[in-house]
Amino acid sequence: MFNNVVQIVKEASKYLKLTNKVVAELLKPKRILQARLKIGRGKNKTIFSAYRVQFNNARGPFKGGIRFYPKVDLDEIKALALLMAIKCAVVNIPFGGGKGGVKVDPKQLSENELEELSRAWVRAFAKYLGPDKDVPAPDVYTNEQIMAWMLNEYEKLSNKKSPAFITGKPIALGGSLGRDTATAQGAFYVLQAVMKKIKFAGKNPTVVIQGFGNAGYNFAKLLWPSRYKIIAASDSQGGIYNKSNGGMNPEILMRTKSQNGLGAGCYCAKSVCDCCNYQRLTNEQLLTVKTDILVLAALENQITKENAGKIKAKVILEIANGPITTEADSVLQRKNILIIPDILANAGGVTVSYFEWLQNQKHQRWTKAQVFNKLKSIMIKSVNDVCKTVDSHNVGLRTAAFILAINRIVNAKK
């Protein structure tokens, strides 16, 4: 994964005529922190590998989530830390890039063990953390409760109140309104701005959504009252396709997901399904459905060189991180499929994290309307900035976003 990101950075750097020395500095993490966290006592003691990669802070404090995940490794954390630096620069917020993680299956831990692990992570890296040094946030299998434990541990160690130490925390502890749906909200603003830019001709664009979790579902709820028709959606078990190409209400889809799973292939929550116009699909089949817009909101590496040639969407929106491999990206570009890259499309989450940090620093509390108005302004401006770079260098949106971000990072260091 890290090598894939490095390849894109090097390609984008050519357009800026950066020296090899400058590119090498861009691709070198400032600090790699590793620890072995000991949880439990005596024979019940378990040791977990923990990481924090602080990649670049030329534009502000390191910023990035902490994931508790069984497949966490240093290569992945390095790649995500670099991408965070790029992402923050794309939307022009004053943060650098960082990422953290623990190699653990949190589902196997009790609540007490989870709290112990969360506090141990802070103790291991506390020297390098802080509101003006490194600001963590939730990520895969971490949530506002884990952020609350981490905040409490940091405040005990520093012996002072520091709500700006971490974002994604509960509202009562200084969390921001709108943070729970910020990624979807930002993605919606980006999609609307891009569709306007390209003067999309269709009256009711069809949409296929892979990944009906928090981001995918909230994004679907924003599409529903607008002019978009959701014709297919999937969760980890599979998906459902409306053969008549009619739109599907995301609320009903979520009820179905909760009771039967979308892999059941029905658009209802009945024990006996009578959905004759609907078809069950695998996630692989869902990707190849003919549609105007394909939303990738699941996992990384979903479109590869093996299936890229089968994609029939006109526009692909990346809400997930890295859902398209580098090889597949080239295939899709040759097919003239417009890709709205993750570092732009899903930057709403880190942007509202910045708002949370700012509110904490200034001792303010913004309304949800204020948060979303500010978010809309930043996301639309970011789309405009990326599109100007497209025109200047005759490149795709992904390369343009990297060019824009790298230029801002390099200039910040001067």
DSSP state for residue 96 in the 8-state scheme? -
Indicate the helix (H) or strand (E) that contains 353: helix 348-362
Residue 204 DSSP class: S
Strand, coil or helix: what is 251? helix
CB 218 within 8 A of CB 225: no
Distance CA 83, CA 409 (A): 12
Cα 350 from chain centroid?
Answer: 8
116: which 2 tokens?
């112990």
Catalytic residue list contains 99: yes
137/52 Cα distance (integer angstroms): 12
The pairing of strands 229-235 and 206-210 is parallel
Catalytic residue among 78, 99, 169, 257: 99
Q: Which helix (H) or strand (E) holds 294?
A: strand 291-296
Question: Within 10 A of 286 (CB to CB), how many other CB atoms are there?
Answer: 23
Rounded Cα–Cα distance for residues 411 and 414 (Å): 5
Q: Are 305 and 328 in contact (CB under 8 A)?
A: yes
| Catalytically annotated residues | 99
